[in-house]
Structure 1
Amino acid sequence: MRILLVLAHPLPDSFAASVAYTARQALEASGHVVDLLDLYAEDFDPRLSQAERSGYFDIPYDTSAVADIVARLQSADGLVLVFPQWWFNFPAILKGFFDRIFAPGVAFTHDAAGGRIVPELTNIRLLYALTTTGSPWWLVHFYMGNPVRRLLKRGIASFCSKKLVFRMLSLHDMDRATEARRKRHLDRVRKALAAV
């Protein structure tokens, strides 16, 4: 399989970068082709432009400003996202990735009969989210209702591709995680991605 591995963290020596490196190694060791898209290193602009927003319902929608990344997504069989959760949500750069790349004609088309959208990312067979939170698991799950998982699984995954495998691996309470706990999480990531 061809996997688009998206890293959304500004620090090249972050734990997220270690997770992405571990995921890449495991995938490549299993024979997959990995296309690493480091949003910060590639200087991705997350801002939806005035032209992009005003033409959102144009057919065809103009993705020329992000054509390279759109092509990378459309040629992938799987998508692996690596990011921290900040304020119980995506980093702004990853939200902008969804806003600009998961566009009409790419991730979905508008149903002319009204309102609904039709999935177009039928090439994507798996979506894995490898993430960390600063909060303990109970706060993320019970108090906040795990909003990132809900958005990814019920929103982005099901609205863009009807038949894919979704999985989310999270290291909670990241700021207080010991070195041993971080290593165990990397081992968990390695095993999960080696099984793809």
Structure 2
Amino acid sequence: MRVLLIVAHPLDDSFAKAATARVRSTLERRGMEVDLIDLYADGFDPRLTGDERRGYFASPYDFGAVEGYVDRLKAADKLALVFPQWWFNMPAILKGFFDRVFVPGVAFDHGPGGGLIAGLTNIDALYVVSSTGAPWWYVRLYMGDPARRQIGRGMRGVLNPKSRFRMLTLHDMDKMTTERACAFLDRVERAFLKF
């Protein structure tokens, strides 16, 4: 079982990196192969180029500039994302990763007459670990939980139709205590024991 684990945070001493380490160790203890992509450490360029955008409806789409990432995505059985929510959504580097790697011929194909045909049917589970400085009620009730909606509805649509989705979010990071952080990491570990 191969898991593609993607983290998006620029600081090595961040909570996101601690959560990533917990996810990775949990999965490896279970005997899973973990392929870690640290977008900031890789220096991933999130900017979709003009040529990439112009070729979006070309067949085949030219994903040569990100082919290594595409190969790793296609080789995965499961996908895990770890990121903070900034301005109620994912960091731009992660959004750019989706823009440049989850492309036609990889994540989906354009259906005849419109619509999308899922292309990542090899992925049967998508788990997200996230954090936000805002309280849960503000994120969910006032903002409508944009990160969960975008990933849970949009991205999940290009995966195996029977794929499992779960998102664990630690709210109120601005008022974090060591006890709450540790309890959340324990919750993350329990979730990934069932991944």
TM-score bracket, shorter-length normalisation? over 0.9
- Superposed CA RMSD in Å reads 0.8
Q: Which residue of 2 aligns with 1:158?
A: 157
Distance in 2 (CA, whole Å) between partners of 1:131 and 1:93 is: 15
Distance in 1 (CA, whole Å) between partners of 2:7 and 2:146 is: 20
CA contact (8 A) 2:133 2:172 kept: yes
Q: Report percent identity of matched pairs.
A: 55
* Corresponding letter in the other structure for 1:155: G
Q: Which residue of 2 aligns with 1:48?
A: 48
* Residue 17 of structure 1: how far off its partner (Å): 0.1
Number of equivalenced pairs: 195
Q: Which residue of 2 aligns with 1:30?
A: 30
What are the within-5 Å matches in structure 2 for residues 13-162 of structure 1? 13-113=13-113, 115-162=114-161
Gaps of 5+ in 2: none
* Corresponding letter in the other structure for 1:139: Y
2:188 matches 1:189: yes
CA contact (8 A) 2:120 2:158 kept: no
- Cα offsets for 1:102-145 (capped at 9, x unmatched): 000000000122x2010010000000010001100000111011
Q: TM-score, normalised by structure 2?
A: 0.98
- Give structure 1 regions of 4+ aligned residues with deviation exceeding 6 angstroms: none
CA contact (8 A) 2:128 2:166 kept: yes
* Corresponding letter in the other structure for 1:8: A
2:11 matches 1:8: no
* Corresponding letter in the other structure for 1:111: G
